[in-house]
Amino acid sequence: MTGVGKFLAIWNRLAKSSCPRCSSCPVEDHLHVPRCSAPTAAAEWSKRHLAFRTWMQTQQTAPEIEAFLFDYLKTVRQPSLGVPTVRAWSRHPHLFRSAISSQATLGAQGLLEGLVSPNWRHLQALHFSYIGSKKSANLWASRLIQQLIRIGHYMWKDRNRLAHSEDSSWYTARKREIDIGIREQFAMGLMDIPPHSQYLFRDSRDTVLNKSLKDCQHWLRLVSRERAINRRSLARQRQMIFDLARPANPTSTRTTGASP
């Protein structure tokens, strides 16, 4: 997963990598996104968690599978709950226990990444057969994975919605940092900027500063990169000129006829 705060911070070293939704996470990574404690994140999770159960019901999911997956998903945000003690009755207790055991190995985070035990599909096939349904368990399993991955996607969208809202304190703080970088680049001027990239300075400083955060980040990333590349190139050229101009080292000259 790219774009999460930790990676943004690595890319441009100017970014604030804390979570845009809460203040409790100094370094945001992909594991934090579905676990964020912010009210909007909690509300989004609750909504998606319930929608997942509704989806399982509409797809005639075996009751014991529905009970387990719904409860196990809770542990993403409440790990202290542990693997649920399943009270749901199953016509295939051995297979059900195997499915729980293998899903516990894959972990609750695995669910959000589409890592589900193949035993669920076997159990669901037996359930379809029992209720006389002609539905495909393979298709059911494929859609189950899609639904689970979609939960993580919705959590990510909620995070981005807040991060890109100009009203959020995170947006304001981040824009301030990027603006400092832009001012520094204008202060340095066109020196070290190769001719083919000087168009980036065609707009005035204030015009660039008034662009959106996304556009400002893009501008700063381009200019920083071009300046760094050109500086390295000029340093190499200076070193070559210096090496050519330097007199040959007399100690490296081979002497002849001086046997001990």
- Please tell me whether residue 21 binds Zn ion under the rule CB under 5 A: yes
Q: Which of 8, 14, 15, 19 binds Zn ion (CB under 5 A)?
A: 19
State in Å, rounded, how far the first CA of the chain is from the last one: 69
Distance of CA 243 to the CA centre of its chain: 46
Closest separation in Å from C-beta 36 to Zn ion = 3
Take residue 2 and report the two structure tokens written for it: 């790219």
Instruction: Choose the binding region for Zn ion from 18-26, 122-130, 212-220, 251-259 (rule: CB under 5 A).
Output: 18-26
Nearer Cβ to Zn ion (21/121): 21
Instruction: Pick one of 4, 8, 15, 36: the residue that binds Zn ion (CB under 5 A).
Output: 36
Least distance in angstroms from the C-beta of 18 to Zn ion: 8
Q: Does 76 bind Zn ion (CB under 5 A)?
A: no
Among 14, 22, 65, 137, binds Zn ion (CB under 5 A): 22
Binding region for Zn ion (CB under 5 A) out of 19-27, 50-58, 69-77, 234-242: 19-27
| Residue from the set 14, 25, 137, 216 that interacts with Zn ion by CB under 5 A | 25
| Tokens, residue 37 | 């404690």
Residue 41 beta carbon to Zn ion: minimum distance, rounded to whole angstroms: 6
Length of the chain: 260
Could you say whether residue 33 binds Zn ion (CB under 5 A)? no
Q: How many residues bind Zn ion (CB under 5 A)?
A: 5
Q: By C-beta, is 64 or 158 nearer to Zn ion? A: 158
Binding site residues, Zn ion, CB under 5 A: 19, 21-22, 25, 36
